[in-house]
Amino acid sequence: MPNTVGVIGGGQLARMMVPPAIELGLGIRVLAETAGESADIAVTQLGDYRNADDVLRFAEGVDVVTFDHEHVPQSVLRALVAAGVSVHPGPDALVFAQDKLRMRERLAALGVPVPDWAAVASVDELTAFLAEHGGRAVVKTPRGGYDGKGVRVVSDAAEVSDWFEGGEPLLVEELVEFRRELSQMLARRPSGEIALWPVVESIQRGGVCVEVIAPAPDTSEKLREVAAEIAITIASELGVTGALAVELFETTDDRLLVNELAMRPHNSGHWTIDGSATSQFEQHLRAVLDLPLGPTGTREPWSVMVNVLGGTTADRYPAALADQPGAKYHFYGKEPRPGRKVGHVTTGGDELEDVVFRARAAAAFFED
């Protein structure tokens, strides 16, 4: 049985794949850029994920290659496939998580509901889109954005004139009037099996996820069905393998529109480590190895995850654990910088208000 997983990228997502790999007795190896990254304990090679030679050498020691991030170039991914390496998700799927324009084109073609959007190659084209959409819109660089980077809300095309200098078209989207943001996560095996977690509410601040409530409160059965159907369509039609996060807007007129896709474990699924029968990290490992998936039910009626942004663990644990001994603390071994995700805390229980309170209280100990 193939049982050694290679992860490209040494960040916290790779790090959080290590505990379930150890528990399941699977091998795990990580290709990191530099020493001392989050997944350091499993790093077996330092190298450049943009360099096909580095990545091919890394792939020799593993049974399947997967990812901590979506930045590995298509040329490198295709070199892996050409060399016979098992890559999950594969390049044909991953391109839609790498390029937001390709994603919008493909989802629109599939009939999946998305915000109004356009590819704009000039200030004039963007000005025209703005005129048709109430004078404001969201402009995104198709590639390389993350946690709010590469995203600007503009009311004048001149506000992104620097981005047009790159010569590549930009993605522009209507400003959706949304009630809240949701995330539907699932995992899919190469052989087709899919397992979905409950849809969750994701609370963002400045383009960064700060809090997740699982399951999303006050959802109708219809909403849950539509969210699941959208994610299943995307996973199946795009051939996604491993974990998939579909970030959704719940609009003020009760529609669900797809915002972003991530084809890997995702911040909106961190609650599953403590709150689900199978964590997204274990499930991702099972999926990329094409092993049967685990159950995705909740362990408690409510789970709440709060990110720790900035801050430090250095001397905070005694006070935090004394105050909130039952919270589950997760830290990523990262040097704290203002706004940087250095960890998260998850709590669970029967009463949502209480669960939210405890998660925020626990996380607050680590914030500056």
Instruction: Say whether residue 277 binds a copy of itself (CB under 8 A).
Output: yes
Kindly tell me which residue out of 321, 352, 361, 364 binds a copy of itself, with binding defined by CB under 8 A.
Answer: 321
Neighbours of 325 (CB within 10 A): 8
Question: How distant, in Å, are the alpha carbons of 310, 314, 359 from that of 320?
Answer: 16, 12, 11
Task: Kindly give, in sequence order, each residue whose CB lies less than 8 Å from that of residue 308, ignoring residues fewer than 6 positions away.
Answer: 331, 341, 342, 343, 344, 345, 363, 366, 367
190 touches 290 (CB < 8 A): yes
Segment interacting with a copy of itself, rule: CB under 8 A, options 21-29, 67-75, 132-140, 203-211: 21-29
Question: How distant, in Å, are the alpha carbons of 31, 174, 191, 272 from that of 288?
Answer: 17, 35, 10, 18
Instruction: Say whether residue 317 binds a copy of itself (CB under 8 A).
Output: yes
Instruction: Say whether residue 127 binds a copy of itself (CB under 8 A).
Output: no
227 touches 214 (CB < 8 A): no
Task: Kindly give, in sequence order, each residue whose CB lies less than 8 Å from that of residue 263, ignoring residues fewer than 6 positions away.
Answer: 67, 70, 89, 93, 94, 96, 97, 240, 242, 243, 244
Instruction: Say whether residue 145 binds a copy of itself (CB under 8 A).
Output: no
Instruction: Say whether residue 146 binds a copy of itself (CB under 8 A).
Output: no
C-beta of 135 vs 192, nearer to a copy of itself: 192
Segment interacting with a copy of itself, rule: CB under 8 A, options 119-127, 174-182, 221-229, 293-301: 293-301
Segment interacting with a copy of itself, rule: CB under 8 A, options 135-143, 222-230, 246-254, 271-279: 271-279
Instruction: Say whether residue 5 binds a copy of itself (CB under 8 A).
Output: no
368 touches 342 (CB < 8 A): no
Which residue is associated with the tokens 């660089």? 141
Q: How far is the CB of 131 from a copy of itself (least distance, A)?
A: 50
Beta strand residue intervals within 33-164, DSSP E: 43-46, 64-67, 117-120, 137-140, 151-154
C-beta of 103 vs 291, nearer to a copy of itself: 291
Segment interacting with a copy of itself, rule: CB under 8 A, options 104-112, 205-213, 288-296, 355-363: 288-296
Instruction: Say whether residue 293 binds a copy of itself (CB under 8 A).
Output: yes
Instruction: Say whether residue 310 binds a copy of itself (CB under 8 A).
Output: no
Kindly tell me which residue out of 292, 337, 339, 354 binds a copy of itself, with binding defined by CB under 8 A.
Answer: 292
Q: Which residues bind a copy of itself (CB under 8 A)?
A: 1, 3, 15-16, 18-20, 22-25, 41-42, 273, 277-278, 286, 291-295, 299, 313-318, 321-322, 325-326, 328-333, 343
